[in-house]
Structure 1
Amino acid sequence: MSPFDVNMAVDAGYQVVVPYTDVDAKLIGPLTQDAIFSRGPKGVAHTGIFIGGRDVMLATDMLRLSREAMVPPFEVSVFADPSGSFTTAAALVASVEWQLRHAFDTCLDGKRVLVFGGTGPVGLIASVLAAQAGARVSLASSRGLDAARSACERATAHFRAALDGADASSAEALQETLQSVDVVFATAAAGVEVMSAQQVSDAARLLVAADVNAVPPAGIAGVGVMDNGKRIGQHGALGIGALAIGNVKYEVQQRLFVQMLAAKQKVYLGFQDAMDMARRVVAERSSLAAA
């Protein structure tokens, strides 16, 4: 449970936020039932469970296990967002979808998407969300092609998302990969450039390049942190920066916390719910900007 998530919960209206650390899957049931049976059927309306950590697959399992441990009418809402990956990935994909639709009158369906840092929590969930939207998604990892393929196999087994590994082990291999890419997600480690200005310009098919790295240098050369549809490269791709995505992510997470607190019927919030909320937030922001 990070300080970011604690602050988000407090700002959403939770008065007491108690982090639990070193929790594994076998503890989820007992902890959930400790929470629900201590307050009575009316008191549990004021309790929620948040699942953090860094393992996106474990977090989705924990969300399911917590739900299975409920004993109605003793039931609380549960929200999973490990390392902020669910809300960040949703904000990233929703922002890209909006740019594709409004600038190019198209969508992710059938597009080739390359995800740098695709084995990390944000990259992996963004890959799954893009694949669910119909994109052909390839993961690139700084740890090599084998690591990327391994992550794809685990994601396919866990989320039933068809993902492929991409060879980015050398400048030559990456250059060849980029020739067939329509969209790039940069979700690699902070302060690491994964795509140079020359590579951006050489990527003739590239439509949108989105970067979640707010630490200099930019993950994608030419994409500023506040950019939201700025033209980059000689072919006029659109760049989306980390703070443009982050502003959406912040609002998505805040709204989901509020939804969990205010819900009359208990809710169980995972990355699909974050995606639905991100699309709503992006649409609202775009309407306000156009007004």
Structure 2
Amino acid sequence: MTAKNILHMLTPHRHVSPFDVNMAADAGFDVIVPYENVTLDEVGDLVQDAMFSRPPHDGASTAIFFGGDDAVLALDMIDAAKKARVSPFGTHAFADPQGSFTTAAAMVACTEKVLKEKKNQDLKGTRIAVFGATGVVGYCAAVIAALEGAKVTLVGHSGLERVKARADEMKQRFGVDVAAVNGASDAEKADVLAETEVVFAAAKAGVRVLTTALLAGAPKLLAAADVNAVPPSGIEGIDVFDLGKEIAGTETHGIGALGIGALAIGNVKYQTESGLFKRMIASDEVLVLDFRDAFTLARTLVPDL
């Protein structure tokens, strides 16, 4: 008899995400079980309990999903799951805390395609400013871009301390060098934008980070991506469906910055998360999936411009 595809969904919070539950069910998992208030030191025992209940050849029919809202904790949980494996047993492991890994992957992938097709420019060497960099989406987008060779700056909204700590953490964990600056005031934002070629806006929903006046004063700006779908938009002048549409007011520099909106990014994010769930179901080998795998898949899903 064919083993059922079982997904164990772990979160450090009171509830697993209904969004992720729906995505997993629609992807085709037969059984989905939530585990809430899970701590890092509990992960190993839970993984082994799931792993040893099935013969090794059915290990790829068992998957562990890590949610929550902390990118670093989710990665630590994946590491704990890997360490808990005892050959020849195994389970899949997939982390996407608060949808941040797949959202960040989609944002960077959409921006990359816009840059390549409309500006003839790669991510490598591109100067990227990340607003909302201490949040999970901004954090992951910054790391993905930096791993691709972009020159990334984390922009803080409440002083330098938090973004500097994030920058140090990225260096230690991923070996990437990113800058950190404060961008609380419009004057500080303008200073950042003076040398910026790409903006990633990943601040809290309903918070406007950049106005058209600030964008108009950014002489080197090529593209700006905003993941905020809740009005007002994070970046003024970008419609949620935009994918490479020129932002009004920026053409005065003769460059014409291009906008990438939240629902254009969301479309790719949705397909990416679904695709990774389906990949676990289809695979005969156990997989470990994080934001790097999400970015690889998202690159293939961005629609033609």
Q: TM class, shorter-chain normalised? A: over 0.9
- Distance in 2 of aligned mates of 1:60 and 1:226: 31
Which residue is equivalent to 2:159? 144
Match of 2:73 among 58, 61, 67: 58
Q: Is the 8 A contact 1:145 1:169 kept in 2?
A: no
Is this contact kept in 2: 1:100–1:208, CA < 8 A? yes
Aligned to 1:202: 217
Q: How many residues align?
A: 285
1:38-49 paired onto structure 2 within 5 Å: 38-49=53-64
Question: What does residue 265 of structure 2 align with?
Answer: 245
Aligned to 2:292: 272
Alignment of 1:1-291 (within 5 A): 1-232=16-247, 233-235=249-251, 236-282=256-302, 285-286=303-304
Alpha-carbon distance in 2 for matches of 1:117, 1:250: 21
Listed as ranges, the gaps of 5+ residues in structure 2 are 1-15
After superposition, give the CA deviation of every residue in 1:117-145 in whole Å (9 maximum; x if it has no partner).
00100000100011111111111122222
TM-fit CA distance, 1:167: 2.2
Give yes or no for contact 1:183–1:207 (8 Å, CA) kept in 2. yes
- Counterpart amino acid of residue 270 in structure 1: D
1-10 or 71-80, which deviates more: 71-80
CA distance in structure 1 between the partners assigned to 2:78 and 2:170 by the alignment: 17
Please state how far the C-alpha of 1:262 moved relative to its aligned partner: 1.1
- CA distance in 1 between counterparts of 2:102 and 2:295 reads 7
Structure 1 gaps, min length 5: none
Cα distance in 1 for residues equivalent to 2:274 and 2:183: 36
Partner Cα separation in structure 2 for residue 117 and residue 179 of structure 1: 18
Of stretches 269-278 and 146-155 in structure 1, the one that deviates more from structure 2 is 146-155
TM-score by length of 2: 0.91
User: Distance in 1 between the 2:33 and 2:176 partners?
Assistant: 34
CA distance in 1, matches of 2:168, 2:21: 33
Q: CA RMSD in A?
A: 1.2
- Post-superposition, which runs of at least 4 consecutive aligned residues in structure 1 deviate over 4 A? none
